[in-house]
Amino acid sequence: PAQTTTNGRVGRVGRMTRYVADAVALNRRLAGREPAAVERIFDRAEDGVDRILATPIQLAEVVDTFGRDDEIAGETPTTSGREAARTLTSGPVEVCEPGRDGVLRLDRLFELYSMHDAVLVAAHHTHETAGILTNDHEIEQYDGDAVVWS
């Protein structure tokens, strides 16, 4: 049965609540520097209770960040980009696409968002997720009820 989440969205499949994650949330999880709400969702996904989706664009950003040893919330990564992607995709994160419906929305979304944010928001709508794990202020400005971060 569908249940409404704290942000008012349904986003459930069977008993699992789905979320889509941006690169910042994925990076912060790998660095152990995610906020409490995001940590709970990842923990639930690792326990098989919830699902976390990420598009190839967000995962490519993770590989790039870890590959360049960019700081993540003040921490320097200690693993390679490839290992970061492997950890995420062999664990709680499922690769998803925005799908046909999402692609057809992109022209409107490009008016509001950068390409990678538009694809993320399209995936959120296509997969009817309960929320977007992000601290992105642009997404919060236009799709704020979907943002999960704190």
Q: What does the pLDDT read at residue 69?
A: 82
C-alpha dihedral, 91 to 149 to 140 to 105, nearest 10°: 20
Q: Would you give the end-to-end CA distance of the chain in angstroms? A: 27
Please give the pLDDT value at position 14.
Answer: 57
Question: pTM of the predicted model, to two decimals?
Answer: 0.86
What is the C-alpha separation between 61 and 51, in angstroms, rounded? 20
Rounded Cα distance between 87 and 35, Å, is 19
What local confidence, expressed as pLDDT, does residue 144 receive?
82
Find how far residue 73's CA is from the centre of its chain.
17
* Rounded mean pLDDT for each run of 10 residues along the chain, 150 residues in total: 44 75 96 95 95 96 90 87 92 94 93 94 95 94 89
pLDDT at 15: 64
Query: What CA–CA distance (Å, rounded) separates 35 from 53?
Result: 18
